[in-house]
């Protein structure tokens, strides 16, 4: 390497120059002014920091274990916990913004009241005043209705820290209320896997390295589960073939060996075509289908009578020879895995499509195999006490007299035998449920860990629905659109300011979330807010709220642990997690490794009577997708910069993702007279979005793609054009069917 003159000698030269007085015009100045100070390059010293353990509590496969470096009571920076082989020292682009979230000038800093909803006339009030107003309203509702069913809660995945189920607990502690239940996320697939296997239970993602063949079907881990990509790459480097099937040429597709651009909502047909070919070739795992499964013969008959590869090809747009070739390769590679993405089941036929893929994987003999599997998700590491959630209703509470109370995929409370229950409203039809609400009408809504105006469907209808509500309380960190539609906003803590514990629905690691710094401003965590409300309620009407009035958030975190959790993770105490996250001790990295299934028959059910009882086909038959009523099929999936409505509002993120776009195919754009970066109106019968267009053949000709996100400075909102049409399955395990948010149709014109 060519050595450059060291800096010091150049400085020496200059000093000489100066002392010789050559530099005429600058003579007379103190020469110290001219000599740069030597920069003292301090070495980074990790020991100079206090280390805290945190966990990313967002609704994400990866649920990263975070190591937080604190100095002088200030979070200096974060990194991925190196102890977790899954996180492996690296967070994602979102995770690295956390210090900025904590110290963002945009945060909701103290309780505030808005003089008129939407007016923007916010006034600061004290916590006592806020609780006084809220408790007055709750007591008023109880007095008017004789029950608290007029009080509703909508909460979902904004913060999956276990103690945050204390929000549900707070509602129970007040009485029987109305709950928005279900999930917009993954319910059709959950039910599908429950019909087939008896539970949703996936292999350890880290065992994907053992796979010889991987089909990533409707998932985009390069954006949505970045940490899994290293296992896929490792499998590839060990010789596995990776195929991505997706209507969008995603970032994951660009990293695959082969990418199939499939027509939207036709994955079921493709899977059935592949199943038929497996059958024709005699590549079915006979041991599995005879000894570990029921209904295979009937399924095989269905395939023979109704399905051909050519038929599947016609529907899904993939040439028959490719379908045949892939089927053969998949069947001959053992183990072979399919990753079933959540996007693929957000259709009116979503559950049916997942069942078809499950069936294909099962026939190939890859269920219960390390490195194999039909991978969707799991909740095997979520066996906490749900102490914060399980609260008793006050004596004499009156509720909803109905068959069953609300459910949710994270509801571990078990069956209740009480005479009354909460009233369950479908979370995927928030607007319609509010509009239709009667006897008693929903009057007050408590919103926590959720941003309905960014995430709930048919935004324009939601505006009308909120107009009907008398009182709205939002528990938030930022002034979102939902906060704009609220009367009171309460500042809630970030992960660094609260105690909780987090598990993943994908990997098998458990992470502690310690309070690393004192809460900023007047922020409080959800269970502290519940305690404050309880205090206000009991002061006015003793016994009206059973939630403890004084709580120690750390103690409450400890109460979530039990021996089952300790045994599963091989720890003696929660404090062991202070040394880093721990992974569940698994007898095998494969789910269903014993091939004992949890279905009624205890076998894999190609034919599910339960499914039939619930109004669907017993066999994983082909079901057509929703019919379009506009020229473009609209997909609104995730972008790597956002987790639903979170992160894109952080100014750091604006450096990398300042503006949303609608992505359309160049040929479709040409027909519409749209050029690259033109501003366009994306619209349908329920609303419109004005946004700039980018042209790319990453999307299908009849498809438009917009990535969901909430921008603090833009009105962009994909929910303007996404209606609340239901998916097929989901009601069994999550309380409400999913939503067909990828069966949406729009037209596009140049503005």
Partner 1 sequence: MSKRYAFLVDMDRCIGCRGCAMACKNFNQLAPDMVWRQVYPLDEAIYPHRERAFLSLACNHCDRPACLEACPTASYEKREDGIVVHHQETCIGCTNCIRSCPYGAPRFNSQEKHAEKCSMCYERIDAGLLPACVQACPTQALTLVDLNEIDESKYEQYPAGYPAMKRLNPSTRFILPKKPRIVRG
Partner 2 sequence: MNYEFPLVFFTALTQAAVGISLVAAWRETRTECIGLFSFRREWLTVFVLASLGLLASLFHLGDPKRAMTALVNLSNSWLSREGLVFGIFAFFALINIFRRSKLFVFAAAVFGIAGIVIQGLTYAPVSMPVISNAVPMCIFALSALCLGTSLTQMAEENGVSKMRTFLLVILVILLAALPFVWKGGDVLSQETAALWLSSVPFWGGIACLVLALVMSLIGRRCIVMGLLVLAGVILCRMTFFADTLHTATRIGMPY
Among the residue ranges 11-19, 66-74, 295-303, 325-333, the one whose residues contact partner 2 (CB under 8 A): 11-19
- Nearer to partner 2 by Cβ, of 11 and 88: the residue is 11
What minimum distance in Å lies between the beta carbon of 254 and partner 1?
4
| 13 interface partner picked from partner 2, partner 1, none, CB below 5 to 8 A per type | partner 2
- Asked if 542 touches partner 2 (CB under 8 A), the answer is no
Alpha carbon distance 160, 63 (integer Å):
9
**Which of 504, 591 has the CB closer to partner 1?**
504
What are the start-end ranges of the E strands in 588-715? 604-605, 632-635, 661-664, 679-684, 687-695, 703-706
Closer by beta carbon to partner 2, 18 or else 125: 18
Is 677 an interacting residue with respect to partner 2 (CB under 8 A)?
A: no
The per-residue b/e assignment along 518-536, b for 16 or more CB within 10 angstroms, e otherwise, is: ebbeebbbbbbbbbbbbbb
Q: Give yes or no for a contact between 451 and 717, defined as CB atoms under 8 angstroms apart.
A: no
CA distance between the termini of the chain: 57
CB 556 within 8 A of CB 525: no
108, 114 Cβ separation under 8 angstroms:
no
571: contact with partner 2 by CB under 8 A: no
Q: Least distance to partner 2 from the beta carbon of 187, Å? A: 40
Residue 189 φ then ψ, to 5°: -70, -35
Structure token digits, residue 614:
């619930």
Nearest 5°: the CA angle 694, 636, 467 is 120
**6 is an interface residue for partner 2 by CB under 8 A:** no
- Measure the CA–CA gap between 346 and 207, rounded to whole angstroms: 27
Stretch of 4-12, 247-255, 645-653, 721-729 lying at the interface with partner 2 (CB under 8 A): 4-12
Which x/- pattern over 391-420 shows residues binding partner 2 (rule: CB under 8 A)?
Answer: ------------------------------
> Does 681 sit near partner 2 (CB under 8 A)?
no
The only residue of 2, 5, 542, 550 in contact with partner 2, by rule CB under 8 A: 5
Q: How far is the CB of 252 from partner 2 (least distance, A)?
A: 21
**Of 243 and 434, which CB lies nearer to partner 1 in the complex structure?**
243
Candidates 8, 25, 237, 417: give the one binding partner 2 (CB under 8 A): 25
Q: Which is nearer to partner 2, 31 or 416 (CB)?
A: 31
- 249 interface partner picked from partner 2, partner 1, none, CB below 5 to 8 A per type: partner 1
**Which of residues 19, 21, 35, 518 is near partner 2 by CB under 8 A?**
35
How far apart, in whole angstroms, are the C-alpha atoms of residue 578 and residue 411? 27
Question: CB-wise, 15 or 518, nearer to partner 2?
Answer: 15
Task: Give dist(CA 259, CA 220) in Å, integer.
Answer: 12
Q: Which one of the spans 20-28, 340-348, 364-372, 685-693 is the region binding partner 2 (CB under 8 A)?
A: 20-28
Residue 415's binding partner among partner 1, partner 2, none (Cβ under 5 to 8 angstroms by kind) is none
**Of 1, 20, 33, 419, the one binding partner 2 by CB under 8 A:** 33
Give the integer Cα–Cα distance in Å for 666 and 78. 42
Task: Assess 3 for contact with partner 2 (CB under 8 A).
Answer: no
Residue 48, Cα to own-chain centre: how many angstroms? 35
Q: How far is the CB of 71 from partner 1 (least distance, A)?
A: 11
Asked if 192 and 355 touch (Cβ cutoff 8 Å), the reply is yes
How many other CB atoms are found less than 10 A from the CB of residue 216? 28
Tell the smallest beta-carbon distance from residue 97 to partner 2 (Å).
23
Residue nearer to partner 1 on the CB measure, 257 or 298: 257
Contact at 8 Å (CB) between 466 and 438?
Answer: no
Q: Which is nearer to partner 1, 323 or 388 (CB)?
A: 323
Scanning 13-21, 237-245, 375-383, 472-480 for contacts with partner 2 by CB under 8 A, the matching segment is 13-21
- How far is residue 641 from each of residues 96, 102, 487, 711, measured CA to CA in Å? 11, 18, 30, 11
Contact 452, 445 (CB under 8 A): no
Residue 99 site contact among partner 1, partner 2, none (CB < 5 to 8 Å, cut-off depends on kind): partner 1
CB of 639 to partner 2, least distance (A): 19
Position 751 contacts partner 2 (CB under 8 A):
no
Among candidate residues 728, 521, 716, 515, the one with its CA nearest the CA of residue 615:
728
Query: What are the strands of the beta sheet with 509-513, ordered from one edge?
Result: 500-503, 509-513, 582-583
* CA distances to 65, 84, 683 from 654, in Å: 24, 29, 26
Name the one range near partner 2 by CB under 8 A: 24-32, 95-103, 107-115, 399-407: 24-32
**Shortest distance, CB of residue 7 to partner 2, whole angstroms?**
9
Burial class (CB in 10 A: 0-12, 13-18, 19+), 254: exposed
Stretch that binds partner 2, among 18-26, 193-201, 291-299, 493-501 (CB under 8 A): 18-26
118 binds, among partner 1, partner 2, none (CB under 5 to 8 A by kind): none
| Candidate residues 11, 236, 324, 621; the one interacting with partner 2 per rule CB under 8 A | 11
The residue ranges that bind partner 1 (CB under 8 A) are: 1-2, 4, 7, 10-11, 36-37, 39, 41-46, 76-80, 88-94, 96-100, 222-223, 226-227, 229-230, 233, 244, 249, 251-263, 316-319, 322, 640-641, 651-653, 655-656, 694, 696-698
User: Is the CB of residue 441 less than 8 Å from the CB of residue 473?
Assistant: no
φ and ψ of 316, to 5 deg = -90, -15
Separation CA 606–CA 617 (nearest Å):
11
Reduced to 3 states (helix: H, G, I; strand: E, B; else coil), residue 478 is: strand
Please answer whether residues 141 and 368 qualify as being in contact, where contact means their C-beta atoms are separated by less than 8 angstroms. Answer: no
Residue among 10, 123, 464, 675 that touches partner 2 (CB under 8 A): 10
Query: Residue 518 binds which one of partner 1, partner 2, none, with CB within 5 to 8 A depending on kind?
Result: none
39 or 403: whose CB is closer to partner 2? Answer: 39
CB of 649: closest distance to partner 1 in angstroms?
13
With respect to partner 1, which residue has the nearer C-beta, 243 or 447?
Answer: 243
- Closest alpha carbon to 720 in 682, 674, 751, 679: 682
Give me the least distance between CB of 43 and partner 1, in Å please. Answer: 4
Rounded Cα gap, residues 720 and 468, in angstroms: 19
CB of 11 to partner 2, least distance (A): 7
What is the rounded distance in angstroms from the CA atom of residue 137 to the CA atom of residue 150? Answer: 11
Q: Indicate whether 77 belongs to the interface with partner 2 (CB under 8 A).
A: no
Dist. CA 210–CA 233, nearest whole Å? 11
* Contact of residue 79 among partner 2, partner 1, none (CB under 5-8 Å per partner type): partner 1
Cα 701 to Cα 696: distance, rounded to the nearest angstrom: 10
Strand partners, 690: 681
b vs e for 8-34, b when ≥16 Cβ sit within 10 Å of the residue's Cβ? eeeeeeeeeebeeeeeeeeeeeeeeee
| Closest of 125, 173, 132 to residue 539, by C-alpha | 132
User: Which one, 145 or 258, has the nearer CB to partner 1?
Assistant: 258
User: Residue 520 interacts with partner 2 (CB under 8 A)?
Assistant: no
Contact call for residue 694 and partner 2 (CB under 8 A): no
Nearer to partner 1, 272 or 590 (CB): 272
In angstroms, give the least distance from the CB of 565 to partner 1. 27
Select the residue interacting with partner 2 from 6, 24, 587, 673 (CB under 8 A).
Answer: 24
Q: In terms of CB distance, is 52 or 98 closer to partner 1?
A: 98
Give least dist CB 133 to partner 1, A: 35
Contacts with partner 2 by CB under 8 A lie at 5, 10-11, 13-14, 17, 23-26, 29, 33-36
């Amino acid at each position: 390497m060519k050595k450059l003159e060291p800096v010091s000698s150049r400085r020496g030269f200059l000093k000489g120059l100066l002392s010789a007085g050559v530099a005429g015009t600058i003579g007379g100045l103190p020469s110290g002014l001219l000599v740069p100070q030597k920069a003292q390059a301090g070495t980074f010293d990790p020991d100079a920091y206090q280390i805290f353990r945190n966990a990313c509590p967002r609704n994400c496969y990866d649920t990263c274990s975070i190591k937080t470096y604190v100095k002088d009571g200030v979070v200096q920076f974060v990194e991925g916990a190196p102890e977790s082989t899954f996180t492996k020292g690296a967070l994602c682009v979102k995770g690295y913004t956390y210090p900025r979230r904590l110290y963002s000038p945009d945060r909701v800093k103290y309780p505030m009241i808005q003089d008129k909803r939407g007016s923007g006339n916010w006034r600061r009030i004290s916590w006592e005043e806020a609780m006084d107003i809220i408790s007055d309203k709750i007591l008023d509702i109880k007095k008017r209705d004789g029950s608290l069913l007029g009080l509703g809660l909508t909460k979902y995945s904004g913060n999956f820290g276990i103690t945050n189920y204390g929000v549900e607990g707070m509602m129970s502690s007040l009485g029987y209320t109305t709950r928005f239940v279900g999930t917009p996320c993954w319910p059709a697939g959950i039910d599908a896997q429950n019909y087939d296997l008896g539970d949703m239970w996936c292999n350890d993602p880290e065992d994907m390295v053992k796979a010889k063949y991987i089909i990533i079907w409707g998932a985009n881990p390069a954006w949505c589960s970045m940490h899994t990509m290293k296992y896929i790459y490792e499998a590839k480097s060990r010789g596995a073939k990776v195929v991505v099937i997706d209507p969008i040429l995603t970032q994951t597709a660009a990293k695959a060996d082969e990418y199939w651009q499939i027509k939207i909502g036709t994955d079921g047909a493709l899977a059935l075509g592949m199943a038929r070919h497996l059958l024709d070739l005699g590549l079915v795992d006979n041991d599995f289908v005879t000894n570990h499964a029921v209904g295979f013969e009937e399924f095989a008959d269905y395939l023979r009578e109704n399905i051909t590869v050519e038929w599947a090809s016609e529907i899904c747009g993939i040439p028959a020879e490719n379908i045949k070739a892939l089927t053969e390769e998949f069947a001959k590679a053992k183990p072979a895995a399919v990753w079933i993405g959540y996007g693929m089941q957000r259709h009116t036929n979503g559950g049916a499509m997942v069942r078809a893929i499950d069936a294909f994987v099962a026939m190939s003999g890859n269920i219960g195999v390390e490195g194999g599997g039909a991978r969707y998700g799991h909740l095997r590491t979520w066996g906490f006490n749900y102490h914060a959630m399980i609260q008793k209703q006050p004596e004499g509470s009156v509720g909803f007299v109905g068959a069953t109370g609300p459910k949710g995929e994270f509801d571990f409370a078990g069956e209740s035998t009480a005479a009354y229950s909460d009233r369950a409203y479908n979370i995927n039809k928030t607007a319609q449920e509010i509009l239709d609400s009667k006897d008693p009408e929903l009057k007050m809504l408590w919103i926590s860990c959720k941003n309905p105006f960014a995430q709930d469907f048919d935004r324009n209808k939601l505006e009308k629905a909120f107009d009907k509500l008398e009182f709205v309380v939002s528990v938030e960190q930022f002034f979102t659109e939902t906060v704009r539609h609220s009367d009171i906003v309460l500042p809630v803590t970030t992960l660094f300011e609260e105690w909780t514990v987090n598990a993943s629905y994908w990997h098998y690691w458990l992470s502690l979330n310690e309070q690393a710094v004192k809460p900023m401003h007047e922020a409080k965590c959800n269970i502290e807010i519940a305690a404050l409300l309880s205090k206000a309620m009991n002061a006015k009407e003793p016994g009206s709220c059973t939630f403890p009035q004084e709580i120690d958030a750390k103690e409450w975190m400890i109460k979530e642990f039990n021996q089952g959790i300790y045994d599963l993770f091989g720890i003696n105490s929660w404090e062991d997690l202070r040394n880093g996250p721990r992974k569940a001790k698994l007898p095998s990295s494969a789910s269903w490794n014993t091939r004992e299934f949890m279905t009624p028959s205890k076998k894999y059910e190609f034919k599910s009577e339960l499914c039939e009882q619930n109004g669907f086909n017993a066999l994983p038959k082909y079901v057509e997708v929703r019919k379009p009523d506009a020229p473009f099929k609209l997909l609104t999936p995730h972008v790597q910069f956002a987790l639903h409505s979170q992160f894109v509002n952080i100014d750091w993120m604006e450096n990398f993702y300042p503006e949303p776009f609608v992505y359309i195919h160049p040929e479709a754009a040409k027909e519409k007279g749209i050029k690259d970066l033109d501003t366009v109106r994306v619209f349908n019968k329920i609303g419109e979005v004005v946004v700039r267009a980018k042209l790319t053949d990453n999307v299908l000709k009849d498809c438009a793609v917009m990535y969901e996100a909430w921008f603090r400075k833009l009105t962009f909102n994909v929910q303007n054009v996404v209606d609340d049409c239901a998916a097929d399955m989901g009601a069994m395990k999550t309380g409400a069917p999913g939503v067909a948010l990828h069966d949406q149709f729009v037209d596009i014109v140049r503005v």
